[in-house]
Amino acid sequence: NPTIFAFCFHLGQYCLINTSDRIIRIYSYTEMLSCGVVRDLEPKQKLQDLVNKSLWRKCCWSGDGEYICGASSRQHSLYIWETISGNLVKILHGTKGETLADVCWHPVRPIIASISSGVVSIWSHSQVENWSAFAPDFRELEENVEYH
């Protein structure tokens, strides 16, 4: 039986279990309560790194529960999966050679914070600014004007 490293609830109806067999499992905690023994229960999803066989240091939910982040223990890499499908959508690579200590997802915004060697790294979407300009003689209309 694999050793449980971490157990993480989400506000919805699921929980994550991070185990020593290099698999993050998603369970329905209402099913867990009715089952009594978790090993007899089939997980809703199994998340793992099939290529590098990463051992997960930490795992967490996005604020809305749509994504799960798994933090590799050997390398400073964060793996992001979709909760429903279990599809890996992104791998974020941090500083090489540093062991990751913790990871946390902002409760509302799409921001992840990770810590290694006393340094906090902030991960976020690239913000694209949209600029527009008007001609100097531009005149705003109060209502539509019909031209003939």
Task: List the chain domain ranges.
Answer: 4-124
The whole-model pTM stands at 0.77
CA distances from 94 to 77, 81, 113, 117, 137 (A): 6, 17, 11, 12, 49
pLDDT classification of 130: cutoffs 50, 70, 90: low
Residue 126 has pLDDT above 90, yes or no: no
Residue 32 has pLDDT above 70, yes or no: yes
Q: Which of 93, 69, 96 is nearest to 80 (CA)?
A: 69
The Cα 57–Cα 74 span in angstroms is: 8
Tell the residue number behind the tokens 């946390």, with chain if given: 104
Q: What is the CATH number of domain 4-124?
A: 2.130.10.10
CA distances from 107 to 31, 136, 137, 138 (A): 25, 44, 46, 43
